[in-house]
Amino acid sequence: MIMTSIPEEKGDDQNDVKKTHATGLRRRWWIVLLAICLIAIGTYAFFIKREEAARKKQTSLAPGIPVVAVAAKKSDMGIYITGLGSVTPVYTVAVKTRVDGQLMEVLFREGQIVSRGELLARIDPRPFEVQLTQAEGQMARDMAQLKNAQIDLERFQVLWKEDSIPKQQLDTQDALVRQLEGAIKTDQGQIDSARLNLVYCQITAPVSGRVGLRLVDPGNIVHVTDVTGLVVITQLQPITVIFSIPEDSLPQVLARLKTGEPLPVEAYDREMSQRLAVGSLLTIDNQIDPATGTVRLRAIFQNEKNELFPNQFVNARLLVEVRRGATVVPASAIQRGPEGTFVYVVTADHTATVRPVTIGEVQEGQASIKAGLSPGELVVVDGAERLREGSRVELRAQRSGTPQNADTTQRAY
């Protein structure tokens, strides 16, 4: 039994040795495989870094794209409503004669500034002087007749009390006195009319303003029924502008009017390039035009230097709100793509990066940024069409004639 047990133990030992050897081989295989993977990863990372370094070196050596960049600034931004309008005088008066007669003298110069009550022309007063003399003579005659009738009335009253005359005779005399008193009032009216016509012979300016071209020359016979009149006077100071705004903007304007604060209005020329005058909103029309969907507004201007001229076409800008502390950039910096609006921001290493932004209002070439940009960051306003993410840029001076609506100081990092 002892002899048979010894071979069995040797067989077990051999099996254990084989298993141990196989396990060692598998471990070495995994170690080799892991080492190969690590070597491959390291080699890949080495070449990637090498390529990136070469690309960065090539990029640093390549010339940058020339661009103009300005710094976003923090400032107050006015919200305006713009409308087309025309200059309308407060008063425009056609001066006409109020009596018929010959125009004897014209005392104004064409284009002259006249004051209210200033003498402009004279009409021949002689016919009306004759009428005045006739009316005064008629009144003198009627007053004499009235005085005689009143004396007779007093006598008839005494005789009637003495029962010497009938009551009818007394009543007839009393009626005659009253009739003559009425004639005196008529005579007085004719005298006043003649005197008034004499006043009308002196044609004066009904309002202050500038006279236009003379429409009738001296020597002509003028009539009350003439259509054209003698001259037209237009008040220039102050003067108003009537303009229209969309009906959707009306609630915003009404809300500001309720505060009691004056709403500034600026008048610009046809090309919207030159500001002519600054005034304030005077009133709003009482209805909306259903054909155009607009409402008319009237603004008043002092026009001290005669910047505005009657019937002149202007662009009116009504300030309805001021946004305080807004981030503002030139509108030319705003770019649009499939994913929305963005700007190119110049980084410290002189490369351009795409920055998505949320735009607020755009006024006068300026755009307010609600989100995505901070004041002081440099944005590209010219040359952005050649840029891509990470493009190297070279800052250059702004071209002359380019509007500077934001801080155009270029910063060098």
Over its length of 413 residues, how does the chain's per-residue pLDDT go in tens digits?
Answer: 334 444 444 455 555 555 565 566 666 777 777 777 777 777 777 767 766 666 555 555 457 788 888 888 888 888 889 999 999 999 999 999 999 999 999 999 999 999 999 999 999 999 999 999 999 999 999 999 999 999 999 998 999 888 888 999 989 999 999 999 999 999 999 999 999 999 999 999 999 999 999 999 999 999 999 998 999 999 999 999 999 999 999 998 998 888 888 899 999 998 888 999 999 999 999 999 999 999 999 999 999 999 999 999 999 999 988 888 888 888 888 888 888 899 999 888 888 888 899 888 787 788 888 888 888 889 998 888 888 888 888 888 765 444 444 344 444 33
Nearest to 311 by CA among 255, 200, 234: 234
**Residues 102 and 219: beta-carbon distance below 8 Å:** yes
CB proximity list for 386: less than 8 A, separation 6 or greater: 65
Spatial distance between the Cα atoms of 316 and 301, rounded to a whole number of angstroms = 12
Topology of domain 65-74+326-395 in CATH is 2.40.420
Which region, left, alpha or beta, applies to residue 111 given φ > 0 means left and ψ of -120 to 50 means alpha?
Answer: left
Q: What is the pTM of this model?
A: 0.64
For the chain, domain boundaries: 1-62, 65-74+326-395, 81-90+234-323, 101-231
Longest CA–CA span in the chain (Å) reads 204
Pick the CATH number of 81-90+234-323 from 3.40.47.10, 3.10.310.10, 3.30.200.20, 2.40.30.170: 2.40.30.170
* CB atoms near residue 270 (< 10 Å): 11
Peptide bond into 356 cis (omega under 30): no
Angle, helix 167-200 to helix 126-161, in steps of 10 degrees: 160
CA-closest candidate to residue 245, choices 300, 209, 204, 299: 299
Q: Which two tokens stand for residue 123?
A: 């009409």
How far apart are alpha carbons 335 and 389 in whole angstroms? 13
For domain 101-231, which architecture applies? Orthogonal Bundle (1.10)
Residue in 224, 203, 225 with CA at minimum distance from that of residue 214: 203
